Chain A
Amino acid sequence: MSVAKRKFSFTVNGEGKTIETYPMRRLLDVLREDLRLTGTKEGCGEGECGACSVIVNDRLVNSCLLPVAQAAGARICTVEDLAQSGELHPLQKAFIECGGAQCGICTPGMIMASVSLLSRCPHPTREQISDALAGNLCRCTGYSRIIESVEKVSRS
């Protein structure tokens, strides 16, 4: 049995997009391959590492677990949406200043998780930051500078 490709429409970073593809194709692959938004990364492919985190309808989700058919009609934001007119987002600046990124593969997901946290809780405690980033794994930094980066923005 072979399923036909179908069209799915949604907005990505404020722009309407229509993609023709298989319904169970992961949103992660649609973003990276069809829309060339390669900021979102694949780490584990099973929803544990958070490298693929994007914001869908104001909620952080792992795009490796979201079939594109279930993203139809959604408002999707990726890390590419954060810098505006060449100016970095405060979180991006903080990650640079505090050394929150080493190899950088976890960084887009960490920043999206932090954006999601700060949009709900502009001045989180350290514990709230840890809880919000619990789904994002980093193999390089040992997490302390990532937390400092978020704290820097939350203090301002």
Chain B
Amino acid sequence: MRSYLPEFDLVTPPTMPQALGLLASGEGWRPIAGGTDLMVLMNAGKLDHSRLVAVDRFPELRGIAETESHISIGAATTFTEIREHAALREHFPLLPQAASWSGGVANQNRGTLGGNIANASPAADSLPALLVYEAELLLVSVSGSRTIPYRNFHTGYKQMALNADELIAQIHLLKPSGRTVHHGRKVGTRKAQAISKVCIAATGNTGERRFRLAFGSVAPIPLRCVRTEELLTNDKLTSALIREAERVLSSEISPITDIRSTSGYRTTVACNLLREFLELLL
């Protein structure tokens, strides 16, 4: 049932400091960017916040900046912009790949990376990629700014280290070495327009024995699998080690049974996805 329109306000202040002021005012203002999550709630009559401040056009939150060692993505960058960006495709290919999985073109033209993070669905497509790339978030408020490693951002289902007056401003990424293998795969009901049953993002550098592994839809938060990573780092990669890694992974993840899939299916497929990745490196 649709929400009652006269109860909802949406304002578009011209500057970010004005928007931050509203978020800090204690009057219940919350940010909206592309609206591809919040408007779904609105249309279903389930949007809790009745005062929204638009943040999708502020220059401080937009743009993709590259240096020799880093790329920084503005939080209000859309999935389409991420897909189209040559340096992201070269250095962080799992991100444009995940962006191409998120809904259809119309969703990607509005949906933003910051929104994907703040909505904090454990099934979100871009979040496992951000985990394996060890992203750092820049958060801003009227009081100033702070950075937080993205791996510490999600603290529980839809719980995050983000104060009510804070906005995610930038996502900082350190470029991996050129000999890193990047692998991502999303398993869903359909090839497109599907929320994932399981999703893997992984990077591997067998020379340096450096592995980063993250999964979506296997825990209350997007999950970086550090115990599985540690096992892979300690020994030479063999078929036996891959089997052991699958065992460790199945104890590290905690998938549930829900409308999309069962915990048994998710565990089996997560292990299959891990094995598929590791066999690329054998």
User: Could you tell me which A residues sit within 8 Å of B by CB distance?
Assistant: 1-3, 22-26, 45-48, 50, 53, 59-62, 64-67, 69-70, 72, 113, 116-117, 130-137
Contact = CB atoms under 8 A, between A and B. Distances in A.
Contact of B40 (A47, A66, A134, A135): A47
Contacts of A50: 104, 106
A3 B7 contact: yes
Given A46-B40, A62-B110, 11 more contacts: A3-B8, A26-B39, A47-B36, A47-B103, A53-B106, A59-B80, A61-B106, A67-B52, A113-B105, A130-B192, A137-B193
B15 to A, nearest CB: 16
Contacts of B12: 69-70, 72
Nearest to B56: A70
B54 interface: yes
5 contacts: A23-B11, A47-B39, A65-B36, A65-B40, A135-B104
Interface string B181-210: 000000000011100000000000000000
B103 A135 contact: yes
Nearest to B191: A134
Contacts of A60: 105-106, 109
A127 to B, nearest CB: 11
Interface of B: 2-3, 5-12, 32, 34-36, 39-40, 42-44, 50, 52, 54, 56, 80, 100, 103-107, 109-110, 191-193
B105 to A, nearest CB: 5
B193 A24 contact: no
Nearest 8 pairs of A and B residues by beta carbon: A135-B104, A134-B192, A24-B8, A65-B39, A59-B109, A23-B10, A69-B10, A22-B5
Contacts of A130: 192
Given A23-B9, A24-B8, A67-B10, A116 B35 contact: no
Contacts of B36: 47, 62, 65
A142 B28 CA distance: 46
A37 to B, nearest CB: 18
A62 B50 contact: no
Nearest to A2: B6
Nearest to A53: B106
A124 B42 CA distance: 36
A134 B104 contact: yes
A45 B43 contact: yes
A24 B100 CA distance: 28
B114 to A, nearest CB: 16
A3 B193 contact: no
B39 to A, nearest CB: 4
Contacts of A66: 35, 39, 110
Contacts of A132: 105
B44 A46 contact: yes
B193 A64 contact: no
Question: Which residue, of B3, B43, B191, has the highest number of chain A Cβ atoms within 10 A?
Answer: B43
Given A47-B39, A47-B40, A67-B35, A61 B11 contact: no
A47 B10 contact: no
Contacts of B193: 48, 134-135, 137
A93 to B, nearest CB: 23
Question: Which residue, of B2, B52, B56, B193, has the highest number of chain A Cβ atoms within 10 A?
Answer: B193
A24 B52 CA distance: 9
Contacts of B105: 60, 113, 116-117, 131-132, 134-135
A58 to B, nearest CB: 10
B106 A62 contact: yes
A137 B106 CA distance: 13
